[in-house]
Chains A and B, each alone.
Chain A
Amino acid sequence: MTHGNEIVIGLLNVVIGLAVLMAAAGLLTWIERRLLGFWQDRYGPNRAGPFGVLQVVADGIKLLFKQDWIPPFADPVIFVLAPAISMVTVMLAIAVVPATPMIGIIGNLNVGLLFFLAMSGLGVYSVVLAGWSSNNKFSLLGGMRAAAQMVSYEVFMGLSLVGVVMLAGSFNLTDIVHSQLHLWYVVPQFIGFVVFFLGGIAETHRLPFDLPEGENELGAGFHTEYSGMKFGMFFVGEYIGIIVVSAMTTVLFLGGWYGPLLPPFLWFAIKTGFFVAFFILLRAALPRPRYDQFMAFGWKILLPLTLLNILITGALMLAGPAI
């Protein structure tokens, strides 16, 4: 393959990847409402277009034509910056996820895993800054909760992946998938899988860990003061975040694109879609814990569990090359 071809393929990946991602995030707003509807014995939005798909378009038009209001008491620069951070960080995070060896923007990055963790860590800034710059009590409480939540989940979320890295011997996500050819890491790293997924829920601020938003206590939490497309950006960010975490879970624990019969990309999409649906099921089923409960859960149960997981994985790797 010549150098020019590589550039073209790379650019195609970026452009198509971005388009598909945005479309998927938009569609996800509709999928979520439909699925929530079915799980609550109702239909959900089914009026606009076939099965209500055009609801996405209607919502987009509505958001674009809403008044884009910056409250006079807010800090305008940070207020505008916060939703942008929310979208940029998740979109950078998905750049390192390899859908297949060919599809994926920088799937071969040699520190892909660390890059993902770094970007997801930065994503918290959007929530904290939004809550802080809104200059509103509810927003501030939401932002503070986001900070508190970040402190509790970021530690065990990072540590839960150490086991995978030890087994694969690489931070490169493509290599991690390759090393799962015979056995998906969900089997030897089951604790890591569960803990990472819980961390992922907290990371995307989804129910049951949507403490920064907490509609019934905080109005709308950190985005109380946001309207129009800035509000929409937080939500696109959140939905892309769901896709990112689902895709990462697939890549790290479910063998990425590996699977029988079907083409690789389809396997990747099916596995990711499964986790996306599970995210929505969590929202339909579980209540939100108090935030001290969540912190206690993180520090007292999940963190020791993760450390134990690393310890056992290391011990088994030293004991024999069986794994």
Chain B
Amino acid sequence: MLSSLVTLWYTFLHLFQRNVTVSYPDEMPYLAPRYRGRIVLTRDPDGEERCVSCYLCAVACPVDCISLQKTEAEGRWYPEFFRINFSRCIFCGFCEEACPTYAIQLTPDFEMSEYDRQNLVYEKEHLLISGTGKYPDYNFYRVSGLAIPGKDKGEAARERKPIDTRSLLP
């Protein structure tokens, strides 16, 4: 009986507490920079696509929502198409973890509702952004040892010249 009255009193006191509700469309919630939302494909500082079509993201994806096809041009690998089905995506971020070139990144944006389910399948032109995302300086082809047109072996950043195995000189 007494506990009921105490309960009543404490419930009444909640009248003077701040509401926990965030009136979402009116006041936007703060999303951390590393929030896992809409997935984008980024470009390197030179404006080229970062994705090298290694398929690691598609392998890592637990719900198999990523599909892509490799193609090759000027010694580089590109995705011919890159498709993410966001009606399947669970925003786990495994693809971002798996990506060796920082190409695929998750962004703090979740407002991607659609009336038509088909519209949730994003193609490469929807995914690709013009910026570098979270890693502004990273450029895979500038740090990797792979030779591409305009950059031979040993010319990448922090890379030594290849050792001439036929010479005895130190």
Contact = CB atoms under 8 A, between A and B. Distances in A.
Interface of A: 37-43, 281-282, 284-286
B113 interface: no
Contact of B14 (A39, A43, A282, A286): A39
Contacts of B15: 38-39
Given A285-B7, A286-B7, A40 B14 contact: yes
Interface stretch (B17-25, B74-82, B85-93, B124-132): B17-25
A282 B12 CA distance: 10
Size class of the B contact interface (CB-based, 8 Å):
10 to 19
12 contacts: A37-B19, A39-B14, A41-B17, A41-B18, A41-B20, A42-B21, A43-B23, A281-B11, A284-B11, A285-B4, A285-B12, A286-B7
B9 to A, nearest CB: 9
A26 to B, nearest CB: 23
B168 interface: no
Contact of B19 (A38, A281, A284): A38
B57 to A, nearest CB: 39
Contacts of A282: 8
Interface of B: 4, 7-8, 10-12, 14-15, 17-21, 23
A41 B21 CA distance: 7
A286 B19 contact: no
Given A41-B18, A41-B21, 18 more contacts: A37-B19, A38-B15, A38-B19, A39-B14, A40-B14, A41-B19, A41-B20, A42-B19, A42-B21, A43-B23, A281-B12, A285-B4, A285-B8, A285-B10, A285-B11, A285-B12, A286-B4, A286-B8
From DSSP, what is the main secondary structure of chain A's interface residues?
helix
Contacts of A42: 19-21
Nearest to B21: A42
A43 B26 CA distance: 14
Given A43-B19, A43-B21, A43-B23, A38 B14 contact: yes
Contacts of A37: 19
A285 B11 CA distance: 6
A298 to B, nearest CB: 14
B8 A39 contact: no
B8 A281 contact: yes
Nearest to B13: A39
Could you say which of B17, B21, B23 has the most chain A C-beta atoms within 10 Å of its C-beta? Answer: B21
A201 to B, nearest CB: 12
B107 to A, nearest CB: 29
Could you say which of A41, A42, A43, A282 has the most chain B C-beta atoms within 10 Å of its C-beta? Answer: A41
B76 to A, nearest CB: 53
A119 B165 CA distance: 107
Contacts of A41: 14, 17-21
A39 B18 contact: no
Could you say which of A281, A284, A285, A286 has the most chain B C-beta atoms within 10 Å of its C-beta? Answer: A285
A302 to B, nearest CB: 12
Nearest to B23: A43
A286 B19 CA distance: 21
A288 B21 CA distance: 27
A40 B17 CA distance: 9
Which are the 9 A-B pairs with shortest beta-carbon distances? A285-B11, A42-B21, A285-B8, A285-B7, A41-B20, A39-B14, A284-B11, A43-B21, A38-B15
A38 B8 CA distance: 14
Nearest to B4: A286
A284 B13 CA distance: 12
A78 to B, nearest CB: 37
A281 B5 CA distance: 11
A282 B18 CA distance: 21
Could you say which of A37, A39, A42 has the most chain B C-beta atoms within 10 Å of its C-beta? Answer: A39
